[in-house]
A and B are shown apart, each in its own frame.
Chain A
């Protein structure tokens, strides 16, 4: 069983970090995993994305042309990746910024108003964790608690422990909002 997700958005929306936390959580959960960033100019404004592949056996290709999920944090990301998602797959779409419907009708579409929910948890920089919480609920690929523990470990290791409660709240917010 192999699952893959492309997490895409504007530079600064935290898609690279969300992917790193998911990859680390999946590894901690006992899965094989690869994390592949778009690197270079994308990192400096514009759009950024990363691909996480999680499997029970060794991951072959880290580059995916048929992801089982997409997290689209903005409209350009949905435009770019919608057609690639595998039939029956999941799209988490940031309905605060995406002003169109998902065109495909063979997917599980979860609309989360990430920017509004970000305002609700009190910090717009936590919208990546809201999206990740929604993804975890929709796919069940890794338990929410494992993601939370992993996030806490990674932030503490990076000297950003004070942001753990905010990000835990954001993961919960996304998890509870996704259905």
Chain B
């Protein structure tokens, strides 16, 4: 740990990736994540690592597939429309059990949308935007410092479970600056060796990396192995934060930027005598169903707030079921909910 520096979320994700030992980074520019690519363009070559501005998002994600196959830590980043283009590659990464980190600095959609902050890609990220029975681990940082720590974590989880991991940020988190104490760089040489990587078969049997088998029984076994790993991830890796839930009557369920706005709403609500708390999933997949279920047993209302039409809301309702009221407040198209706007919604459910 060093001195605190004032950096943008995009820059912190890039710098954290470098410090996590990212050896190869491939991307195609898009707003609002351009500073991430720019930071990598300056610093990766300086460190003797690989930076390629690919010819397209498809090029970039398939370069990630190649780099992951030879066992190096690798990352790509983009924003919503660009991430849509990468979905085929992400499905192939998942099918081939390849570790990689994908950053989505989400902007308003659908289609070309706009460049303003949004959380409208939650379904795509958590429910599988590509084809096939797969999941990614999806991490939702809420602050600039957390964008750094979760990026470091993303590389570790990707390697541990041989899976793509997504950082699901948004334009506001990418663009804003906040003081950050950057994590120390890891010692890449200390990382566990990847015996499965295609590093040249001299003196051993060849390693084969494929997401393909025409024999349904074989493909079934590959799928069962993926599912076994997903159950293990669900068991080990659920992460969430609760804020002032101890005596709460109403709880906001929110992630990322929306969750940090909600923290201000808690202060405002409590000043008016409303017992408000926050439940913040940090892993969006695996979603923290069990802790939210437990919390919902002792509150009257779980108000989901998102910059979407209500995507995480579906997971919240799965967790809460009939144990509490589950209203929703969302903004779309790049509009960011303000503290007073959220407080107005909270008051509808305060008695």
Q: Using a CB–CB distance below 8 Å, which chain A residues touch chain B? A: 20, 23-24, 27, 32-37, 39-40, 58-66
Known A39-B115, A60-B267; judge A32-B177 contact (CB<8 A): no
Q: Assuming A27-B4, A34-B178, is B338 touching A39 (CB within 8 A)?
A: no
| Shortest distance between the CB of B117 and any CB in chain A (Å) | 9
Whether B4 contacts A61 by the Cβ 8 Å rule is no
Min CB–CB distance A145 → chain B (angstroms): 19
**Minimum Cβ distance to chain B for residue A152 (Å):** 16
Chain B residues lying within 8 Å of A40, measured Cβ to Cβ, are 31-32, 114-116
4 nearest interchain CB pairs? A60-B264, A60-B263, A65-B338, A61-B264
- Chain B, range 226-285, C-beta contacts under 8 Å to A: 260-267
Q: Which residues of B contact A33 (CB under 8 A)?
A: 6, 178-179
Q: Are A63 and B177 in contact (CB under 8 A)?
A: no
Residues in chain B within 8 A of chain A (CB atoms): 4, 6, 31-32, 114-116, 171-172, 175-179, 260-267, 336, 338-341
Q: How far is the CB of A150 from chain B (nearest CB, A)?
A: 10
Q: Does the CB pair B175–A37 fall under 8 Å? A: yes
**Contact call B178/A59, Cβ cutoff below 8 A:** yes
Which listed residue (B114, B179, B261) contacts A60, Cβ 8 A?
B261
State A65–B343 Cα separation when bound (angstroms): 12
- What's the Cα separation between A27 and B31 when bound, in Å? 27
CA distance A63 to B175 in the complex (A): 12
Contact across chains for A37 and B340 when beta carbons are under 8 A apart = no
> Separation in Å of the B145 CB from the closest CB of chain A?
10
Q: Smallest distance from the beta carbon of A10 to chain B beta carbons, Å?
A: 20
Q: Are A62 and B179 touching (Cβ within 8 A)?
A: no
**A35 in contact with B6 given A62-B172, A66-B340 (CB within 8 Å):** yes
Evaluate contact between A63 and B338: CB separation under 8 angstroms. yes
Bound Cα distance from A32 to B264, whole angstroms: 14
* Docked CA distance A58–B264 (Å): 10
Cβ–Cβ contact B177 & A61, under 8 A: no
Evaluate contact between B175 and A39: CB separation under 8 angstroms. Answer: yes
Point out the residues of chain A lying under 8 angstroms from B339, CB to CB: 60-61, 63-66
Chain A nearest CB from B108 CB (Å) reads 11
| Other-chain contact of B177, A20, A64, A65, A66 (Cβ < 8 Å) | A20
A61 close to B338 (CB less than 8 A): yes
Given contacts A40-B32, A40-B116, contact A65 B340 (CB under 8 A): yes
Are B336 and A63 neighbours in the complex by a CB distance under 8 Å? yes
B6 and A63: CB pair below 8 A? no
The answer to whether A36 touches B179 (Cβ under 8 A) is: no
Complex contacts, B171 vs chain A, CB 8 Å: 39
* Selected A-B contacts with CB under 8 Å, 16 pairs: A20-B177, A24-B6, A27-B4, A27-B179, A36-B176, A39-B175, A58-B263, A60-B262, A61-B260, A61-B261, A61-B339, A62-B176, A62-B261, A63-B261, A63-B339, A65-B340
Partner of A36, one of B6, B116, B175, B267: B175
A34 pairs with B338, CB closer than 8 A: no
Query: Which residues on the B side are within 8 Å of A37 (C-beta)?
Result: 175-176
Minimum Cβ distance to chain B for residue A99 (Å): 30
Are B177 and A34 neighbours in the complex by a CB distance under 8 Å? yes
Q: How far is the CA of A39 from the CA of B117 in the complex (A)?
A: 10
Q: In the bound complex, do residue B338 and residue A36 qualify as a contact, i.e. CB atoms below 8 Å apart?
A: no
Q: Determine the residue in chain B with the shortest Cβ distance to A24.
A: B6
